[in-house]
Amino acid sequence: MTVESTAARKPRRSSGTKRAAAGASTRKSADSAAAAAQSAEPQLVQLLTPEGERVENAQNAEFLPYVSDITAEDLRGLYRDMVLTRRFDGEATALQRQGELGLWASLLGQEAAQIGSGRALREDDYVFPTYREHGVAWCRDVDPTNLLGMFRGVNHGGWDPTVNNFHLYTIVIGSQTLHATGYAMGVAKDGADSAVIAYFGDGASSQGDVNEAFTFSAVYNAPVVFFCQNNQWAISEPTERQMRVPLYQRAAGFGFPGVRVDGNDVLACLAVTRWALERARRGDGPTLVEAFTYRMGAHTTSDDPTRYRRDEERAAWEAKDPIERLKAHLLASGDADEEFFAALEAESEQLGKRVREVVRAMPDPDTMAIFENVYADGHALVDEERAQFAAYLASFEEGH
């Protein structure tokens, strides 16, 4: 069923009263059409069921070869990445509750989407994240404690993006998809076979910038993968408030493929992202990957999901937990033993301890940092204000 086919959307010309009534019925029908479109969920690309069983079917056949090289050790590595990322995330949430961070955007529930896609990347690929890609940052070897500076309020991004090819977190929703597209246009101009990946959420897909990024990347055949983590909620607004057709289908309108992958299946995310990256490297242009997942916690520590969503919904998604399903698989297949899990638990404890220590020891920046790096080439007004403020501060010293 397509939205366009619903008869109720046709405008009706009649008396005022009838028009009002028709308007109301149109709205109602539009909502139900949207709900229908959403509920008619297309099959996900899935390689690992929630119970931890490997599956092969028509839906995933194209993507299976992209993980045929994955060994038991690789699987344990993916599991470790997810566990440590979750631990880091949980630690950061706790630190926010303890007043050590001003805000935290938790990725709880989205570990598979981030680790699967992050581990698909090559060193020379370039990542444009939102503010929630802590798992992708982990895959890029960005020290996780560096991610906390902006949330503690000591900087706006605590790492050099060129070192790990991992750009700074972008707060303005969807802006980075255009940066990724421009960067990818540059990669193509350089004749390099690197790829670029842009992360964003279901809410961001409503933004003009994301749609302009789709347009530009298609027109210039830019080697970029748009990796949308559809976590079902944009703060309190469900996906029905963002779109009336399944998100991945939008790509077709821009002239490139879109795929919906089980975002809680790390193996499927790895396979589909590798496939999309290969398309980019080959010169086949952009791809939209919609990782169908769920944000288990709040949007940020500032909101309260109990005000806008039901407990049953969360419970249903808990049964699809990305970490638990890989653990079930590792145990059933014998690819990991209790010793492995125990060692990982110990490593996890160590990471948590380090994160706590580093955050608490994080110094406030020097006051005069306000004036640093405003301009690369300098600016007379900044120089003047810096000198004035330094003199003002110095006047207190002289008073003693």
Tell me which stretch binds other proteins (CB under 8 A): 71-79, 94-102, 205-213, 307-315.
205-213
Instruction: Name residue 228's beta-bridge partners.
Output: 200, 290
Q: Give the residue, chosen from 179, 260, 279, 299, that forms a contact with other proteins under the rule CB under 8 A.
A: 179
Residue 391 binds other proteins, judged by CB under 8 A: no
Nearer to other proteins, 162 or 395 (CB): 162
CB of 178 to other proteins, least distance (A): 3
Instruction: Name residue 233's beta-bridge partners.
Output: 238
Query: φ and ψ at 56, to 5 degrees?
Result: -130, 130
Whether 197 contacts 259, CB under 8 Å: no
Chain positions 211 to 250 lying near other proteins, rule: CB under 8 A, are 212-213, 215-216, 219
Nearest C-alpha neighbor of 211 from the set 197, 221, 226: 226
CB of 132 to other proteins, least distance (A): 17
Q: Give the residue, chosen from 59, 60, 170, 229, that forms a contact with other proteins under the rule CB under 8 A.
A: 170
Whether 260 contacts 45, CB under 8 Å: yes
Backbone torsion region of residue 321, taken as left when φ is above 0, otherwise alpha when ψ lies between -120 and 50, otherwise beta? beta
* Catalytic residue flag (residue 134): no
Residue 143 binds other proteins, judged by CB under 8 A: no
Place of tokens 């699967």: 116
Residue 121 binds other proteins, judged by CB under 8 A: no
* Catalytic residue flag (residue 131): no
Q: Give the residue, chosen from 377, 396, 397, 400, that forms a contact with other proteins under the rule CB under 8 A.
A: 377
- DSSP string spanning 32-57? HHHHHHHHSPPPPB-SB-TTS-B---
Q: Give the residue, chosen from 125, 133, 209, 265, that forms a contact with other proteins under the rule CB under 8 A.
A: 209
Residue 181 binds other proteins, judged by CB under 8 A: yes
d(CA 79, CA 313): 25
* Catalytic residue flag (residue 308): yes
Tell me which stretch binds other proteins (CB under 8 A): 34-42, 168-176, 265-273, 326-334.
168-176
Of 86, 152, 250, 299, the catalytic one is 299
Residue 186 binds other proteins, judged by CB under 8 A: yes
How many chain residues interact with other proteins (CB under 8 A)?
43
Q: Which helix (H) or strand (E) holds 107?
A: none
CB of 376 to other proteins, least distance (A): 4
DSSP 372: T
Q: Give the residue, chosen from 33, 83, 101, 187, that forms a contact with other proteins under the rule CB under 8 A.
A: 187
- DSSP string spanning 228-274? EEE-SEETTEEGGGT-SS-GGGHHHHHTS-EEEEETT-HHHHHHHHH
Q: Cα angle vertex 63, ends 165, 275, to 5°?
A: 30
CB of 175 to other proteins, least distance (A): 5
Residue 185 binds other proteins, judged by CB under 8 A: yes
Place of tokens 């933004």: 207
CB of 110 to other proteins, least distance (A): 24
Of 19, 54, 80, 308, the catalytic one is 308
Q: Give the residue, chosen from 155, 206, 221, 249, that forms a contact with other proteins under the rule CB under 8 A.
A: 155
Tell me which stretch binds other proteins (CB under 8 A): 32-40, 152-160, 284-292, 353-361.
152-160
Instruction: Name residue 292's beta-bridge partners.
Output: 230, 262
Q: Which helix (H) or strand (E) holds 233?
A: strand 233-234
Distances in Å between the Cα of 204 and the Cα atoms of 135, 168, 292 are 19, 17, 15
Residue 141 binds other proteins, judged by CB under 8 A: no
What is the longest distance spanned by two Cα atoms in the chain? 82
Residue 123 binds other proteins, judged by CB under 8 A: no
Query: φ and ψ at 209, to 5 degrees?
Result: -60, -40
Instruction: Name residue 260's beta-bridge partners.
Output: 290
Residues known to be catalytic: 295, 299, 308
Q: Which residues bind other proteins (CB under 8 A)?
A: 155-158, 160-162, 167-168, 170, 172, 175, 177-187, 189-190, 208-209, 212-213, 215-216, 219, 372-377, 379-382, 384
